[in-house]
């Protein structure tokens, strides 16, 4: 099942434009180790383990599919672990069905094609739960709780909010732990040391996520889409998962594990919501992707407690509900942005002597990646390397002098054409006598705008 999940995830991964987040990964990973350490002291420090790994990975290539291949492999590992954990909790069919459900979800394909650490977080969440199961149910094993501590350490090094999954471990073992609570807490405490470090680093750099709004209760309505990739697929899987606890006796599953799977699915969103209101706004759907394996496992337990015909029909329903989403994530703008199209618009319409100006310096990364040397003159950039403390590039401020002999300027900014009034560079251009003659909105909301200005 792991190989199947990896093949599903990798299919079409080279046809999709990088998102700005993936380009941030590229920008960070292409720096030297000293530059990466310098960046981590200002922004995205909690992603340093992932960026360090991708830094080594990019030594062998920088194509889209190659950058995303680690996430593909993590997706395959997660599916394999889901299958084995489902087998241990219920039966071999339960594990295989749970892994099939996980593989069919568009959300899994999306993160499996995303050069970000969320596929790793999901795999590590399953690994930690798998290690906990073995420590409790197979107490004679030498690795035991040390294996659990190691799995928790891996979890904390993927994405700090994935550690919220451990609340389900505490919840279930505190209720039904058969005397292993203290040993589990000791293993968890040791394993959480790396995650605690990255959490402190992330809190110190919370200015980087100042764009996150304080969530209202309505954010829970979007959970099905986060789980499934489409609202329909998520609702189908959530409905199947909800029936899992009621079918416990059909599998003779200890209530400890049903409580753990249920808490794994439900507690992280509640805790992330609470943290947002008590500490700082941090609620973003993708931070909860590590909960998706729990839904798949519960759905797998449900579907192997009913007649096989019903199981087959339900899996067909999951597939049908997910097909639109699977196709959608493989479009050129499947990651919500479309840098290749923006580059094509400019290169098709550019004339000798044109200049290009970026409303936000970090947008330049995508155009350098896809545009190569075929773009107009980048008249504001003053260095070839990004800034040491951000994903932007050094730029000159004297825009009047930079454009003194230019008649046409291509301008790119985040958002639609209506956002032009909020872009400082656009205001500077109009102050120099330039007016917009054409504009194209590229990608999905908020997307970006490519506009041509002339004197």
Q: What is the pLDDT of residue 210?
A: 84
* CA–CA distance, 433 with 407 (Å, rounded to integer): 10
* CA–CA distance, 303 with 314 (Å, rounded to integer): 8
List residues bridging with 410 in a β-sheet: 356, 452
Q: What is the pLDDT of residue 248?
A: 56
| Residue 403: DSSP 8-state | T
C-beta neighbour count of 344 within 10 angstroms: 15
Q: What is the pLDDT of residue 139?
A: 81
C-beta neighbour count of 392 within 10 angstroms: 16
Cβ atoms 169, 259 nearer than 8 A: no
Of 1, 112, 127, 21, the C-alpha closest to 65 is 112
Give 10-residue mean pLDDT values along the chain (455 residues): 90 92 95 92 93 95 94 97 95 94 97 96 98 89 87 96 96 87 94 94 86 92 95 94 71 82 96 95 95 96 88 92 95 94 94 93 93 89 91 92 93 92 91 93 92 94
Q: What is the pLDDT of residue 252?
A: 64
Q: Which residues have a Cβ under 8 Å from the Cβ of 18 and sit 6 or more positions away?
A: 26, 64, 67, 115, 335, 337, 339, 366, 369
Q: What is the pLDDT of residue 66?
A: 95
How far CA 132 is from CA of 128, 173, 188, in Å, comes to: 6, 10, 10
Cβ atoms 171, 193 nearer than 8 A: no
Task: Map residue 448 onto helix, strand or coil.
Answer: strand
How far CA 127 is from CA of 119, 138, 150, 400, in Å, comes to: 12, 16, 10, 57
**pTM, rounded to two decimals:** 0.94
Strands 355-358, 408-414: pairing kind: parallel
Would you give the end-to-end CA distance of the chain in angstroms?
A: 60
Cβ atoms 273, 215 nearer than 8 A: yes
* The token pair that represents 61 in the structure block: 């290539």
Q: What is the pLDDT of residue 130?
A: 97
Q: What is the pLDDT of residue 177?
A: 80
Q: What is the pLDDT of residue 179?
A: 83
Give the residue ranges of DSSP H helices in 329-363.
339-349
How far CA 370 is from CA of 78, 120, 222, 254, 343, in Å, comes to: 31, 27, 33, 53, 7
| Residue 451: DSSP 8-state | E
Maximum Cα–Cα distance across the chain: 79
Q: What is the pLDDT of residue 211?
A: 86
For 381, phi and psi rounded to 5 degrees? Answer: -70, 135
Q: What is the pLDDT of residue 391?
A: 93
* CA–CA distance, 40 with 198 (Å, rounded to integer): 11
Cβ atoms 107, 310 nearer than 8 A: no
């Amino acid at each position: 099942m792991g190989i199947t999940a990896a093949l599903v995830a990798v299919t079409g991964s080279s046809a999709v434009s990088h998102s700005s987040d993936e380009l941030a990964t590229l920008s960070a990973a292409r720096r030297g180790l000293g530059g990466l350490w310098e960046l981590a002291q200002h922004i995205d420090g909690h992603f340093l383990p992932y960026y360090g790994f991708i830094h080594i990975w990019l030594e062998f290539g920088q194509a889209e599919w190659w950058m995303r291949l680690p996430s593909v492999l993590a997706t395959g590992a997660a599916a394999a672990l889901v299958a084995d954990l489902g087998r241990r909790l219920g039966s071999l069919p339960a594990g295989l069905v749970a892994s099939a459900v996980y593989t069919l979800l568009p959300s899994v394909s999306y993160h499996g094609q995303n050069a970000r650490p969320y596929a790793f977080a999901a795999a590590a969440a399953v690994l930690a739960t798998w290690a906990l199961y073995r420590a409790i149910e197979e107490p004679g094993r030498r690795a035991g709780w040390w294996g659990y501590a190691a799995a928790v350490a891996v979890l904390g090094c993927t994405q700090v909010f994935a550690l919220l999954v451990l609340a389900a471990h505490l919840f279930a073992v505190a209720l039904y732990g058969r005397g292993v609570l203290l040993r589990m807490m000791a293993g968890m405490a040791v394993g959480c040391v790396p995650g605690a470090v990255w959490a402190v680093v992330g809190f110190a750099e919370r200015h980087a996520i100042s764009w996150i709004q304080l969530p209202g209760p309505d954010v829970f309505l979007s959970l099905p889409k986060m789980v499934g990739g489409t609202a329909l697929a998520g609702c189908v899987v959530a409905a199947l998962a909800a029936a899992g606890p009621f079918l416990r006796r059909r599998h003779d599953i200890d209530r400890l594990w049903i409580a753990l799977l249920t808490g794994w699915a439900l507690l992280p969103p509640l805790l992330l919501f609470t943290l947002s209101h008590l500490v700082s706004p941090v609620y973003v759907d993708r931070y909860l992707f590590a909960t998706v394996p729990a839904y798949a496992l519960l759905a797998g337990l449900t579907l192997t407690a009913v007649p096989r015909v019903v199981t087959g029909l339900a899996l067909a329903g999951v597939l049908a509900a997910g097909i639109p989403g699977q196709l959608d994530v493989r479009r050129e703008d499947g990651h919500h942005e479309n840098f290749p199209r923006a580059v094509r618009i400019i290169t098709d319409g550019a004339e000798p002597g044109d200049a290009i100006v970026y409303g936000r310096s970090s947008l330049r990364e995508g155009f350098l990646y896809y545009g190569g040397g075929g773009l107009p003159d980048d008249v504001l950039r003053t260095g070839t390397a990004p800034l040491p403390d951000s994903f932007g590039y050094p730029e000159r401020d004297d825009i009047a002098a930079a454009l003194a002999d230019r008649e046409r300027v291509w301008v790119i900014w985040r958002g639609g054409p209506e956002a032009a009034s909020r872009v400082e560079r656009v205001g500077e251009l109009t102050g120099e006598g330039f007016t917009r003659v054409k504009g194209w909105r590229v990608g999905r909301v908020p997307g970006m705008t490519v506009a041509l200005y002339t004197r």
